[in-house]
Amino acid sequence: MMEFYEFRIIDRNSEAAGVPVSRLMDNAGSVIARSIETYFPERTSVVFICGPGNNGGDGMTAALKVSAFRETVVVPASPDMVPKSEMLRQRYAAVSKLSSSLDVLDRIPPERLLIVDCLLGYGVDRPPEGRFLELIEMMNSLRKKGAAVLAIDVPSGFPYPRHVLPDMTITFVDMKKGMDEESCGKVVVGDIGIPETALNYTGPGDMLLYPVPSAESHKGNNGIVTVIGGSIFPGAPVFSSLAAYRTGADLVYTVVPSRMAGTVSSFSPNIMAFGFNEGELSEKTLNSIIHWIDRSNAVVIGPGTTYDSFNSVAETLITRTDKPMVIDASAIETVGRRKDLLRGKKAVITPHAVEFLKLTGEMPGNSLEERKEKVQKWSAKIGATILLKGRIDIVSDGTRIKLNSTGNPGMTVGGTGDVLTGVVAALMSKGLDPFNSARLGAYINGSAGDICFREKSYGLLSTDLIEAIPEVIRNSLS
């Protein structure tokens, strides 16, 4: 079962894949018409109750097809209903000859009547009220009197307690979360021609997951990240820190060995670097690092480190913190040697193929199907989301799986993985769960790389990638 928000993402990704919503609506209309003919042959009068959104558009499209073999009436949600888009206005105009008022229901014997509920779709974000609630209660009342009710996609008002209780629901793509026979009647899943890429890969629709700041927000409300690393490579935690900023985090604390702090600070005035004693932990150092973690919403552990110099730091910090975290570089090997470390925590691990070997003890394989299977298996075993970097990135939390094809061969340059780590951490700091942070992070990172490749070709740098991140966000949210 999919979360409701996934279907809005799929619609937008389908559009990007060349299958517009209008075609999906045509296909939905055909599925509805065939279902009425198959499942309700004795209901000779069909009344579509249509709302102003896409759910109503599905109903209006179906009504034209059903009118060829049944007595068909379209009842808009209100006499002065204004469809929400030009496409829907055109669909409404096309069924004008079938349009009527609710009075028509008084003239049809209940045993002959099929009500098709196209009032509200899966996009409702609050309990129905006013006119919509009246219509929901009317449909339920008529069903008690003997009319049949068919809901389209989801029963209107679902998943809130006061919703249409239909005999059957024709839903699309997949079952929505919470759907069962008690609340939705018999559920039939219809294929409306969503492209496989829109279902399985990230795309522009995934940007709907991006937590847009409130106009009333202030510093600290939109994510605070602590980046811990840099035991041998000072640039890596800088890349992660600047990428987190460019993804919209309000504050980033960059915690590195004391000997690196001055170098790290010199990269940019935006970097707030804080030192701990070399690569080892003392009680004083531990308390200092935990101080910055406690002030943040998400943590990055590992960029720019080696296992020998950082293992004790990584293991202790992972054990001590319950903040959402991104595990990178040598900290991945730390988890590989203690695979229970992340149980019960919110974490994303970002390995490439060799790091996946250190994490799991096996290479991810060559074929996409083998890699998907292994990522899903190991994310379930470890209890964390794994983002396996590659030509096709693979993201899984052990249950869900998503692929990402953005990116290009120019991104083999050093540091792009550190940029990805910072992007994912920023998204987690804004409240996204690990799986959605990883999938959206992979999309943003790869899309930024594609923007850079068009200008820099194989000479792109990780710093170029960082500067392109805001363009990806701006273009996708506009």
CA distance 265 to 112: 77
Q: Cα–Cα distances in Å, from 466 out to 2, 39, 319, 460?
A: 32, 55, 31, 11
Q: What is the CATH number of the domain that holds 8?
A: 3.40.50.10260
Which of the four pLDDT bands, split at 50, 70 and 90, describes residue 276? Answer: confident
Q: 335 with 342: CB under 8 angstroms?
A: yes
> 109 and 241: one domain?
no
Which 8-state DSSP code applies to residue 361? S
Residue 270 has what pLDDT?
Answer: 96
Q: Which residues are annotated as a binding site for K(+)?
A: 55, 117, 156
CA 23 remoteness from chain centre: 23
Pairing of strands 347-349, 385-388: parallel
Task: For residue 168, give every residue at least 6 positions away whose Cβ sits within 8 Å of its Cβ, in sequence order, or none.
Answer: 35, 39, 149, 150, 151, 185, 186, 187, 188
Same domain, 192 and 229: no
Binding residues for (6S)-NADPHX: 54-58, 121-127, 153, 236, 304, 352, 418
Name the least confident of 102-106, 110-114, 399-403.
102-106
- b/e code 345-371 from CB counts within 10 Å (16+ = b): bbbbbbbeeebbebbbeeebeeeeeeb
For residues 79-95, average pLDDT: 92
Report which residue type is found at 447: S
Q: 156 with 193, same domain?
A: yes
Domain that holds residue 375: 219-477
- pLDDT reported for residue 288: 87
Domain boundary among 172, 200, 228: 200
Report pLDDT for 309.
78
Rounded to 5 degrees, φ, ψ at 275 are: -95, 145
Residue 338 lies in a domain: yes
Q: Is the Cα torsion angle 265, 269, 302, 227 positive or negative in sign?
A: positive
Q: Strands of 143-216 (E only): list them.
A: 148-152, 168-172, 186-190
Mean pLDDT, rounded, for 387-396: 98
Q: Which residue shows structure tokens 């974000």? A: 125
List Cβ<8 Å contacts ≥24 apart for 141-146: 142/105, 142/110, 142/113, 142/115, 143/115, 143/167, 145/110, 146/110, 146/111, 146/113
Place of tokens 């309990």: 127
Q: Look at the block and give the residue holding tokens 């910090």.
A: 317
Domain presence at residue 213: no
- In-domain check, residue 473: yes
Q: What is the pLDDT of residue 280?
A: 61
pLDDT score, position 125: 82
pLDDT at 313: 86
Are residues 365 and 441 both part of a single domain?
A: yes
Q: What are the binding residues for AMP?
A: 417
| Residue 70 domain flag | yes
Instruction: Tell me which DSSP letter residue 219 carries.
Output: T
**Is residue 52 domain-shared with residue 149, that is, in the same domain?**
yes
CA distance 122 to 400: 20
Question: Whole-angstrom Cα distance, residue 43 to residue 57?
Answer: 22
**Residue 443 falls inside a structural domain:** yes
**Structural domains in the chain (count):** 2
Q: What is the pLDDT of residues 331-381, one digit of tens each?
A: 999 999 999 999 999 999 999 999 999 999 999 999 999 999 999 999 999
Predicted confidence (pLDDT) per residue in 46-77, tens digit: 999 999 999 999 999 999 999 999 999 999 99
H/E segment holding residue 273: strand 272-276
Residue 127 above 90 pLDDT?
Answer: yes
In a domain, 211, yes or no: no
| pLDDT (average), residues 241-266 | 95
How far CA 378 is from CA of 23, 47, 125, 382, in Å, comes to 39, 51, 35, 6
Say whether both 150 and 284 belong to one domain: no
User: Which tens digit of pLDDT belongs to each residue from 147-202?
Assistant: 999 999 999 999 999 999 999 999 999 999 899 999 999 999 999 999 999 999 99
- Count Cα atoms within 13 angstroms, Cβ side, for 317: 37
- In this prediction, residue 328 carries a pLDDT of 97
Task: List binding-site positions.
Answer: 54-58, 117, 121-127, 153, 156, 236, 304, 352, 417-418
The structure tokens listed for 51 are 């709302």
Query: Does residue 193 sit in the same domain as residue 267?
Result: no
Question: In this structure, are 232 and 191 located in the same domain?
Answer: no
| Whole-number Å distance between alpha carbons of 67 and 52 | 21
Residues 344 and 302 in one domain: yes
Q: Are residues 130 and 241 in the same domain?
A: no
Half-sphere exposure of 292 (CA within 13 A, CB side): 23
Same domain assignment for residues 186 and 72: yes
Q: Half-sphere exposure of residue 223, counting CA atoms within 13 Å on the CB side?
A: 31
Which of 280-313 are b and which e, b meaning 16 or more Cβ less than 10 Å from the residue's Cβ? Answer: ebeeebeeebeebbeebbbbbbbbbbebeebbeb
Task: Tell me how crowded residue 87 is: count the other CB atoms within 10 A of its CB.
Answer: 15
In this structure, how many other beta carbons lie within 10 angstroms of the beta carbon of residue 130?
Answer: 8
CATH number, position 382: 3.40.1190.20
Residue 3 has pLDDT above 90, yes or no: no
Regarding whether 249 and 175 lie in a shared domain, the answer is no
The reply to whether 205 falls in a domain is no
Per the domain annotation, does 353 fall within a domain? yes
297-329 residue pLDDT tens: 999 999 999 888 788 889 999 999 999 999 999
Is the sign of the CA dihedral 260, 220, 344, 369 positive or negative? negative
- Model confidence pLDDT, tens digit, residues 277-292: 766 666 678 888 999 9
Residue 99 DSSP label: B
Average model confidence (pLDDT) across the chain: 95
